[in-house]
């Protein structure tokens, strides 16, 4: 792991939740990749009985290593380094928070998470999310980075989100962290809405690449590059057999190329991101999101 300087050093907590904040399973895909590659241990688990609606997030029946059937309940788990005693002030140490977005008692849930954050000495929190948007699968995945923390915005030249509207648990935890003096950073990927039923390895890979640019950690890619190519090829094959879909994708490509043109400003790109959020918000049927 490389050395880092600046705001994104120390004990960094990377957060992703399944559900509304996780289009194409892109955000949780990043945290699962980190969990499987960094060598972490379980630090704490949230009691699912207090925060989940089991009619909405049902337990899963599976077979254990001993051959017996077991129930796996939805939960949220915080992972930390296997050897926390080896942490120093220069090399970043990665903690992970992964699980299902809770269905109720968000303020109590957030207090419980923040208690563990303080116990672990977390110095910065990175929120990962993915949203369905009017973007083409054939272009690089759009990534939007924002922060409420002045130091992070200045050091990394990122924007402050101007979104107003319903939020998800990521925003609630971020607000609590900033209030407690722990800086936060949000990284969001835009996933093509016309392939919303399938995982998007291309979006997961884009989030990983942006995360690596911001913190000094190298994330093994595994088969993500090949899976991303196969994902794109599969959608191309579908579009070849669907004229309406192909026409729609071509329209999205033209719109994206306009945004990516040299004439497009950073403000224009940020405005495009906010437009995605507002449009998605209007389709939410009253459900919260971030």
- Per residue in 51-93, pLDDT (tens digit) is 988 888 888 999 888 889 999 888 899 999 987 655 555 567 9
- Parts of the chain with a pLDDT under 50: 1-5, 264, 287-290
**Alpha-carbon distances of 73 from 47, 57, 61, 77, 248, rounded to whole Å:** 10, 9, 9, 12, 40
pLDDT at 1: 44
φ and ψ at 13, to 5 degrees?
A: -100, 120
Q: Tally helices (H) and strands (E) across the chain.
A: 8, 9
Alpha carbon distance 209, 117 (integer Å): 25
Nearest to 183 by CA among 123, 129, 127: 123
pLDDT at 54: 87
Other CB atoms within 10 Å distance of the CB of residue 103:
16
Q: Which residue has the tokens 């309406």?
A: 244
Residue 154, token pair as written in the block: 């200045």
pLDDT at 88: 53
Alpha carbon distance 271, 62 (integer Å): 45
H-state helical runs in the chain: 26-38, 106-120, 150-156, 169-179, 201-214, 224-240, 243-259, 266-282
pLDDT at 190: 92
pLDDT at 34: 94
pLDDT at 3: 45
């Amino acid at each position: 792991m490389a050395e880092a300087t600046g705001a994104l050093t120390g004990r960094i907590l990377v957060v992703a939740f399944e559900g509304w904040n996780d289009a194409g399973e892109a955000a949780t895909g990043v945290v699962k990749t980190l969990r499987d590659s960094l060598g972490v241990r379980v630090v704490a688990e949230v009691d699912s009985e207090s925060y989940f609606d089991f009619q909405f997030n049902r337990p899963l029946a599976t077979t254990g290593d001993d051959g017996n059937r077991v129930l796996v309940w939805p939960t949220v788990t915080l992972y930390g380094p296997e050897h926390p005693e080896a942490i120093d002030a220069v090399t970043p140490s990665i903690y992970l928070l992964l699980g299902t977005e809770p269905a109720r008692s968000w303020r109590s849930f957030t207090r419980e998470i923040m208690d563990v954050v303080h116990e672990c000495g977390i110095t910065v929190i990175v929120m990962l999310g993915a949203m369905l948007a009017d973007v083409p699968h054939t272009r690089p995945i759009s990534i939007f980075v924002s922060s409420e923390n002045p130091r992070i915005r200045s050091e990394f030249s990122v924007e402050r989100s101007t979104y107003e509207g319903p939020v998800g648990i990521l925003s609630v935890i971020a607000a609590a962290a900033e209030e407690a003096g722990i800086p936060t950073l949000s990284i969001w990927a835009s996933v093509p809405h016309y392939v919303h039923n399938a995982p998007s390895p291309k979006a997961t890979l884009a989030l990983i690449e942006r995360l690596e640019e911001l913190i000094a950690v190298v994330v093994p890619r595994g088969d993500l590059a090949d899976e991303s190519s196969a994902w794109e090829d599969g959608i191309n094959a579908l579009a070849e057999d669907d004229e309406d879909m192909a026409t729609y994708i071509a329209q999205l490509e033209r719109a994206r190329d306009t945004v990516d043109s040299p004439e497009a400003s950073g403000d224009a790109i940020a405005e495009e991101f906010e437009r995605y959020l507002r449009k998605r918000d209007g389709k939410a049927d009253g459900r919260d999101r971030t």
